[in-house]
Amino acid sequence: MKINILTLFPKMFDGFLSESIIARAIKFGAVEVNIIDIRDYCFDKHKQADDMPFGGGNGMVMKPEPLFLALENVSGKVIYTSPQGKTFNQEIAKELVKEEELTIIAGHYEGIDERVVENKVDMELSIGDFVLTGGEIPAMTISDTIIRLLPDVIKKESYENDSFYNGLLDYPHYTRPAEYKDLKVPEVLLSGNHKKIDEWRLKESLRRTYLRRRELIENRELTKLEKKLLDEIKKEEV
């Protein structure tokens, strides 16, 4: 897979690309990430990538020419990180990971010229209802979520248990020691009975989702076991 990121601040991605899972994925060839400096497509003396908005108002707008030129050198679906976009989630990530190439435009200032959005952008994505300095962090968030779903980047069973992957929040995790400051790990996790452990994890995943994100439960088609466990949870949480 190839991911291209168009940005005014390419150095922001240095740490993102050189550490942890993303660095390993790049090293063994699961993904190619190209950070494209939009100013490389600004040909005036000052490499100006933004200008004042027509009609007046505060802030600056990213100019259309550099973006149109930069997009001529990439292919695949074009994503624009925008507060006006659809909220990014795991389901969108599972669809995007099927693409061979993605290009993400990291917006800045008051955004990009609307002509770019109307003629070049396939999808606008937001990572939440809050304001950031620019689109670089959303671009990293989207890329990270997609890359970890690529084959062999991490074990499939690892991400299948992540919050939201299967529509539920994740269950609690514990590690050694089994007791610390009189705080004990649940006995079932020490039992070696994998069937009981799996059921406990499913129940605790349902419990967290029911208590913290109930709408996810309401939108889910529950299995027979999940219905049974949820009934138990409702009685326990009264």
Q: Is 110 a catalytic residue?
A: yes
89's tokens: 């989630």
Query: Any alpha helices (H) in the chain, and if so which ranges?
Result: 14-18, 20-27, 64-71, 90-96, 114-120, 136-147, 156-160, 194-212, 214-218, 224-236
Q: Is 162 a catalytic residue?
A: yes
Instruction: Report whether 111 belongs to an annotated binding site.
Output: no
Active-site pick, 138, 148, 204, 207: 148
Phi, psi of 11 (to 5 degrees): -65, -20
Instruction: Report whether 116 belongs to an annotated binding site.
Output: no
190's tokens: 């020490």
CB-CB contact of 146 with 95 (8 Å): no
Instruction: Report whether 127 belongs to an annotated binding site.
Output: yes
CB-CB contact of 77 with 105 (8 Å): no
83 three-class SS: strand
Instruction: Report whether 107 belongs to an annotated binding site.
Output: yes
Q: Is 148 a catalytic residue?
A: yes
Active-site pick, 37, 64, 83, 213: 83
Instruction: Report whether 135 belongs to an annotated binding site.
Output: no
Active-site pick, 162, 170, 199, 226: 162
Active-site pick, 110, 124, 170, 199: 110
145 three-class SS: helix
3-state secondary structure 123-134: EEEECCCCCCCE
Cis (ω within 30 of 0) for the bond into 177? yes
How would you classify residue 83: left for phi > 0, otherwise alpha for psi between -120 and 50, otherwise beta? alpha
CB-CB contact of 49 with 106 (8 Å): no
Active site residues: 83, 110, 148, 162
Annotated binding site for S-adenosyl-L-methionine: 107, 127-132
Annotated binding site: 107, 127-132
